[in-house]
Amino acid sequence: MRMLSPDRYHSSVTAIDLADLQRGGVRHLLIDLDNTLMPRDSSEVPPDVRVWIDRLSDHGMSACLVSNNWHAHVTSVAESIGLPIVAKALKPFPSAFRKGLRELGGSAKHAAVIGDQIFTDVLGGNLLGMTTVLVAPQSTSDLPHTLVLRRLERLVLAGREPLA
């Protein structure tokens, strides 16, 4: 069960305390895109999330998007917020996370994975020994297979609520 347990659980990325992550030795962030930075059915990153991304450098952090999405819009979203992206990631398999770390010149020891899914983001980060941060999904719209996994996630979280 440890492999499915996030180190932190927040209501959104903007609720994540970057200074706290920095104190914990985190210097590199591997961030999911759909339902983490923006709602899955959107192509616009919300203004408050853009501000949060802009603050990463204030905390000495770099970031790379790691997304299972393969559609062309993910690359344009990444460009619009100035972050590199590893698309078609096949999370939770470690290869995409390793590619993201290489892109940032970082190591798993000093990295955190931020995402909205336990069976992709949290499991993948835990497999490599990274800090894992689960965020509540930013919309209720999901793919059919993800909706099935959401039911299992509720069991894994066992009533745990995200920090505001």
We report the CATH number of the domain holding residue 136 as: 3.40.50.1000
Q: What's the confidence (pLDDT) of residue 143?
A: 63
Q: Is the pLDDT of residue 87 over 80?
A: yes
Number of domains in the chain: 1
Per-residue pLDDT band for 27 (boundaries 50, 70, 90) equals very high
Q: Among 3-12, 69-78, 81-90, name the one with the lowest average pLDDT.
A: 69-78
Q: Considering the domain boundaries, does residue 104 fall inside one? A: yes
CA distance 102 to 86: 11
Q: Considering the domain boundaries, does residue 164 fall inside one? A: no
Chain centre to alpha carbon of residue 11? 13
Structure tokens at 65: 């998007």
Tens-digit pLDDT profile for residues 62-80: 999 999 988 788 899 999 9
Q: Considering the domain boundaries, does residue 126 fall inside one? A: yes
Domain that holds residue 149: 2-157
Q: Considering the domain boundaries, does residue 163 fall inside one? A: no
Q: What's the confidence (pLDDT) of residue 150?
A: 67
Q: What's the confidence (pLDDT) of residue 4?
A: 95
Q: What's the confidence (pLDDT) of residue 2?
A: 86
